[in-house]
Structure 1
Amino acid sequence: MEPFILHRGVAVPLLRANIDTDAIIPSREMKRVAKDGLADGLFAGWRYVPGTPRVPDPSFVLNQPPYAGASVLLAGNNFGCGSSREHAVWALKEFGIRAIVAPGYGAIFHNNCVRNGLLPVALPMAAVQALADDCAAEPAERQVTVDLQRLEVVSPGGERYAFALGSEPRQMLLEGLDPIALTLKQAARIDAFQAADRMLRPWIHSDAGVQ
């Protein structure tokens, strides 16, 4: 998994509250269990003209030329609520989104982001709106910087917004670790515990043999 340390990119505003995982990727777009091949289905109910196979709707912000290549998503409160489908995060990542900035998230979606290398930043709505306003005139030139080491978002105008993230999620993102890789960092301690426990209670270990 790619570490997240510092990222600067075009920020796209989708400032609706309660965008659920079915809006992020409708169930009809989930035709595989792999993590790839999902970007085309991202926001499919909004990105495409109804009744057409894949005709982009020019009124939807992700289809507008100034936001081409956007990698920071500015969103409303409770982003990623609804079902627990991990495909929502996979679709966002494959599309190119590296960080989301919103006032709050669905709890499972937030955890899925961390476990897949996508940074969920929580800032007050006033700060999210200020970032959107600061980028609006020239999104390609007025990019947003998200710094996980400093725990801050920097607007194009230089305004700094501090955010919080738990120590374990932050470590996972900074080092590009999934939960298994994070656990394996303690491999030496795990081995030492198992060796000591095997001496104390050999009967509970499957490799102790039968006397």
Structure 2
Amino acid sequence: MKKNKKNIALGFTLVETLVALAIFTMGMQATVMVFAKTMKSKAYSLEMGKASFIVSRSMGDLVGYIRRARQSDNGAFPIVSADENDLVLYSDYNKDGITERLHIYLLDGKVYLGVRKPSAVMPKTYATGDGETFELAKQIVNTASDPMFSYYNKDYPMDSVNNPVNAPADVSKIRLVKIFLKINIDPNRPSDNIEQETFVEIRNLNDYDRIY
């Protein structure tokens, strides 16, 4: 006697197909989200690196300007004024033999350099205000408790009680300047701030110590 063989369904039922499709869709969504988050993180890191490089290069320029501070072409003291986020001094910033008045300041998250050349005729004079202004760095997130500039007298580091000197500083006492900047392309992520700091000795002011 022959036995009838029943066909066994090997395919998915409609319900199983829908469940599998839903799982696949959720998996794809999760993959896309992870990929997007990874790419966003990489883009953030890349932009932070670029911003940090620009700030580092600008700080190198500022170090040179401040280190070479000297008497103006009309004989004025090398430093005009020194505040927490604003420094005015005389220096040959472009090495052309002319002593310009430089105005270095932090405003609205950007570092600027204002330049004023002396008059072309004798006696040499400097007009008020900045003749030209250049943007040196941006995406700076210093706060009121993190000033761009700090100033130190000739007794530092032995005298830590009177250093840094109070700002606005007595310019005749300044011998060393600290530059401090915090960088972040997204101020809402303070934990990711990149900090850059350097100290600059004003070489020509050592001559004042020997003379006076």
User: Do both proteins adopt the same fold according to a TM-score greater than 0.5, normalized to the shorter chain?
Assistant: no
TM-score (norm 1): 0.24
> Which structure's relative contact order is higher, taking Cα pairs within 8 Å and 6+ residues apart?
1
Q: Which has the higher helix share?
A: 1
Q: Which has the higher strand share?
A: 2
TM-score (norm 2): 0.24
Q: Which has the larger radius of gyration?
A: 2
